[in-house]
Structure 1
Amino acid sequence: MNIGDKVRMVRATEQGVVTRFLSGGRVEIEIEDGFRIPVLQSEIVVVSPMEAERFKPSTAAAELRETIAPQRSAATAKGQILANVGLYLAFVSQNDRDVALHVVNNTDWELLLTIAEEREGRYRGLQSLTLKAKTQTKLLEQYQMERFEQWPTLLVQAVYFRGGVGQPARMPLVKRLKPRAQQFYKNKQNVPVLNQPGHVFLLDDEAGAASLPSQPEQIKEAMLSPTDEQPLVVVDRPTSVVDLHIEKLLPAGPGSQSPGQLVDIQLRAFEKNLENAIASGMGEITFIHGVGSGKLRQEIHRQLSRHPNVRFFEDAQKQKFGYGATKVTLK
C-alpha cells in the first residue's frame, strides 16, 4: 500500500485515496467528499485500477484520429489554429516512490513558459523554456509520493505565440496548481503527446483562451474599467493553542449570563479562531474546551466534521487535558 493508492473500507461502502501513513498501523485517507479520516490498515483494501484496460486506446478513437489528422495537416499548413486548449502538467511515475514532472503542449500554439514552486509565499524558479506545438518536455524536478502532503504549489506562466499574419493575440496564462489526493487519483490517464500513463492536469480552457483587445481605445477602456476587487482584509493569526475556558474569554467574569449564553460566547471564539487559522494558512490548531458536560466539545466536533477546510481532528494532549482538547488539522 502506497500514498496515492485507491482503497475501500472492508466493513463499509466508502472509498478513498491514501494521503499519508500514521502511527499505530493507521493511514489517513481522503474520501470522495474531500474529508480525510484516519483508519486502520487492516480495515481497508487496495482497489486495483486495471490500468491496462483503462489506457488501451479504443478502435473508435483510432479511427477518429485517422480522420482528423489529414484535416489538421491541411489547416495548420494554412496557419489556422485548431487547438486552443491543451496545456498540461503531468506527473509520471519513475518508480514506486518518485514521479517526474512533465509539461505538455497539445495546442497549435508555440508557448513561452516559466515553471516555479511556491512554498509559504516563497518563490523558487524551476525552469523557463519554449515549447513547440504538439510537444512535451520532462523537467528536472522529481517529487516523492511519500511526501505528497509537502508538495509545493506549482506556478505556471505561459505566453502564446503563432507566426504569420492574421493571428489574433492571445491573453497570457497564469495558473497555480496544488494537487489534492482524491483529485490526483481521479486524474490518472494517458498523458497527451507523451502517450504514457500519468496524473494529468489541464491548465488552460476555452474560457481562458480570450484574445487581447486590438485597438488602443479598447486597451485603454480595459485598463481603466472598474474591477470587482474587494479591499484587503487583515486577519489576526491565532496562536497554535486556543483556550476556550470562559475565564480566559471573559477575564472580568461571566456576570449574569446564563450557561447557554456562555456556551455561545465560547462557540463564537472557536469559530473566529478557526476561520482566522484557515485564512492565515495555518496547518493545525488546538482548542482547549475542557470536559464539563461535554456540550461544547460535542458542538465543536459537529462543526469540524462538516467544515470543508478541515482534514481531520482528534483528541489532543490527553496526558494533560484528558478529553478536554481537540487538535484540528487543516487543508
Structure 2
Amino acid sequence: MKFKLGDFVRFVDEKREGYVTKIIDNQTLGVTDSDGFEIPVAVSNLTSVHGHGSVAEDEDTPKPIAVNVPAINKIENGIYLAVATDDKVGNVVHFHLQNQTPTILLTSLTTGRKDKYAGAFYGMLEAHQSTLVYSASIPDLDIWPEFNFQFLMFSKADVKPAEPLVVKKKFRAKDFSTDQKELPQLKHKGWLIRLDEQAPVIDAQKLKESFYKSAAQEKTVNVPEKEIDLHIEKLRDDHHFLEADEMLQIQLAHFQNALDAAIVHHFDKIIFIHGSGNGTLRDKIHKLISKNPHIKTYMDARKEKFGYGATEVIFK
C-alpha cells in the first residue's frame, strides 16, 4: 500500500497509531504518535486507518478536485501554488496546484535534488480547478527538492496560443515568514504563491526621464545616527526565517548605506556595532573600511561598553 504525508496509520504488531510525518525511504516512514514522538517504522508494519483524517490512496497521482467557481474572485487570474497546513499534523504541508485561468492546463511537476530527478505529478487541470501535487514536512525544508513545473495552456476559444511556461521554485524559510491566510478553494490556511508572475514592464520613456532629473529632484541622503547597530534583530523583524548568508548581506548593505551617508554629511567619526559572534561580520566590515579612500583609520570602539563588538571609523 502506498502511504503519503498526513495519512493516519496503525502499527500492525502493536497497539499504536499516528500520522505519517516523514518519508524516510521507499521502505521506511516516520510516524508521529499521540505523544508527539516521531518513530521510524517499516512500511510493511503499517496499515491505513480509513475514515480518520487523510486516507492513503492506491495511486501515486493525485486526482483533480472540482471546486466552486465563486471563490476565484478573491484572487487575480493566474496559476498558483497553495501551500496548505495539515489540521492534524502541524509540521506537514500539502502543495495544491490551482488553475485560476479560463484555460485548460497540461501540467507536469518534476522534483530535483543534487542532479537527481523524480516525476511527482502530471495531468490535465481544468479551468478553476485545484489538485494536490506534493506533500512535505516543514522541519525538512532545508532538504526539500527544487520544484520544476511545466505548463501548456489550451483553449477552445479564438485566442492566440500562449507560450509554454516553465517555472523553477526552490523554497526557503522566508517563503513562509508571513502569516497564514485562508486559501481560496481549500478549507485550510497556508500560503499562496503565484507561479506565472510576470516581470514588471519597464516604461522606456520614464526610464529615460529618470536620468535627467534636476538637482532639486535628486533624492536627499538622510543623516545617519552616530552609532549604527548592525544586529540583525534590529534590522529585520523576520530575521528568524533568514539564512545566515542572507542576514550577512542585509547587515553589510545597512553598513554601506550608513557609511556612505556619513561621508556625504562630513562626519568626523561613526561607530558600527556588529557584535562579537564568530567574527565574520566584523572581518567583512574591516575589509571594506580598509579599502575606502575617505577613511583615515579605524579601531575597536569603547571596549568598556562594547568589548570587541564595535568598530569606530575616523574620516579624513
* TM-score computed with the length of structure 1 as normaliser: 0.37
Q: Higher relative contact order by CA 8 Å / sep ≥ 6: 1 or 2?
A: 1
Structure (1 or 2) with the greater helix fraction: 1
